[in-house]
Structure 1
């Protein structure tokens, strides 16, 4: 219920958009287990279509939906390079620590687009993954997301997870990510002024 003036008005919800996301999640898992294994740093691509429940009031894909689709790619990426199984075995949970995205062109209803994704570096706990949305030949949006895994004692060091997987950790931090991290640190240190 929400109060409008002096009246309480019931809020109606529609479960279809949520159900659609669960179906996309199940589809992503099913596809990932059927795809060949990859190595960290490999690029994966997946083509999607803008569905009606992806739209905002302006008639193009909602800005939040870009990150939702990115979550599906993260799941596929983890499954395809074996990290998903390790997380389950160790009792770890994946966690996004932030993202930045730049939008250049809107995606319209029923338009096909390709999402490209890869890991480009890491530090002690965070992995930095680049993503791009293309509508064929044009870049529509691009950015980075940082992710880590959480265990019973907090963030799991990348050195530990890489050792368990038999990989050498890529400790490069891409230049755009270094600027983002510096901006993030400054933002979190700055008090809110009313």
Structure 2
């Protein structure tokens, strides 16, 4: 089940947080609770993705994107993700998430998210996201106009550009076996 109470808590905690620029980071703190764990008594990989979802939603709120989405009746969707799991998150462990947009192109926004346990990075995820209207993608230029922001993306880091290029070679739809 989606953690609506956690989402409400995050929105409440950050209700008065300052606005963020489009590429500034949102930082939040969490704890791995017993309902987050798998059979190995560590945070379930699916729950990790859900915790990152909470970070993206608060990031969208703090950049003004959520308000624009409501006004325009646009939706926000995830169109791809690459995740590295490097450190287990045991029950009751506290951790910090960092969420920020690293750039965009003519179709997608790219969001880097990280989970840190102290000085150790436990998880890093790169998401490709799109704004949609009536089932069609909205050109990012329209999104920036609605936000009243400039639309020039910072240069994408090489690792992001390489992921985009590699993913473009992946067949779609995939072979059905």
Q: Secondary structure at the match of 2:40?
A: coil
Deviates more, 1:30-39 or 1:131-140: 30-39
**Does 2:165 correspond to 1:182?**
yes
**Does 2:68 correspond to 1:86?**
yes
- The normalised TM-score by structure 1 is 0.84
1:111 alignment counterpart? 93
1:50 alignment counterpart? 32
Deviation at 1:31, TM superposition (A): 2.5
**Does 2:126 correspond to 1:148?**
no
**Does 2:29 correspond to 1:31?**
no
Report the CA distance shift for 1:102/1:170 in structure 2 as closer, same or farther (over 3 A): farther
Please give the alpha-carbon distance, in whole angstroms, between the structure 2 residues aligned to 1:86 and 1:193.
Answer: 39
| Pair member with larger Rg | 1
Gaps of 5+ in 1: 1-17
Please give the alpha-carbon distance, in whole angstroms, between the structure 1 residues aligned to 2:28 and 2:72.
Answer: 29
- The normalised TM-score by structure 2 is 0.92
Please give the alpha-carbon distance, in whole angstroms, between the structure 1 residues aligned to 2:135 and 2:42.
Answer: 42
Q: Secondary structure at the match of 1:142?
A: strand
Question: Within 5 A, what are the aligned runs for 1:153-172?
Answer: 154-171=136-153, 172=155
Please give the alpha-carbon distance, in whole angstroms, between the structure 2 residues aligned to 1:191 and 1:126.
Answer: 21
1:129 to 111, 118, 122: 111
Deviation at 1:193, TM superposition (A): 6.7
Aligned residues: 176
Deviates more, 1:164-173 or 1:71-80: 164-173
Report the CA distance shift for 1:190/1:88 in structure 2 as closer, same or farther (over 3 A): closer
